[in-house]
Amino acid sequence: MKFFLDNYYKNGQLLNNHYEILKLIGSGSFGMVYLCRDVRENEIRVVKQLRTSKRIKKDGLHLFTNEISILKKMNHPNLPKLYNSFSLKKNYFYVMNYIEADNIDDQIFSHNKTFNEEESLSTFSKLLKMVDYLHNQHIYHQDLRIPNIMLKESEPFLIDFGLAKDMSKTWQNQRGEVEKMKQQDYYDLGDILLFLLYTTYSTRNKKALPWTEELTLEQETVYLLKRLLGIEKRYDTTSEIKADFKKALQACRKQN
């Protein structure tokens, strides 16, 4: 039986005679992420490497190449930009732009950042526009979580497309599956919105209560959340969500 150890590249090493490693900035179950300098363009880039232990499994390599193909399709200022992909000594890499920001998870738990109702709705709206852009290309993220959202001066950037699905070639034959994926992204958006709203909540009761009782929100925001989370009739389109979002934002601003 063969055991594969993941190869970490060291600071100062040059990948593909192109990218000088400055430091390792992330390490997950799927891959390692390096902050690099593009020595040809003198620009800072992010290079992601597939773990050796994942490479030897067909599904691991497939997910990695699938992520690359999805990144190639995207052209949006708040989504990753793919610059290059290559292999080196049987290791696989791709290169993206660098976003100099912390993810929302770190900002909340390490820096005590909070979002009031209007700020939460504003961030939600920007995320919704990104999801709408993706869905129009038949791409479904499937992993919308606060660790996968970078926040730079109140501007969110969506990252990590490792679990994303490109249904552009099969959506007509798999409408049921596509609908499930769409609803998963909608649900995750609702979950993110609810999470942001909870950042200003301070526990007063020892007994846990439903969010509808713990949070003091505008009626329109509650309705928006209930439909996103499937408590009320689910949304069919992002245009429906946008319409209810506008009502929630207007109600929120009237109170301020």
132 is annotated as an active-site residue = no
Q: Which of 105, 106, 143, 244 is catalytic?
A: 143
| DSSP letter for each residue of 159-173 | ---TT-EE-TTTTTT
CA distance 107 to 105: 6
Of 234, 225, 214, 233, nearest to 252 by C-alpha is 225
CA distance 25 to 37: 13
Non-local (6+) Cβ contacts of 118 within 8 A are 249, 252, 253, 256
Q: With beta carbons less than 8 A apart as the criterion, state whether 32 and 6 touch.
A: yes
* Termini Cα distance of the chain: 65
Q: With left for phi above 0 and alpha for psi between -120 and 50, is residue 160 left, alpha or beta?
A: left
Would you please indicate which residues are annotated as catalytic (active-site) residues?
A: 143
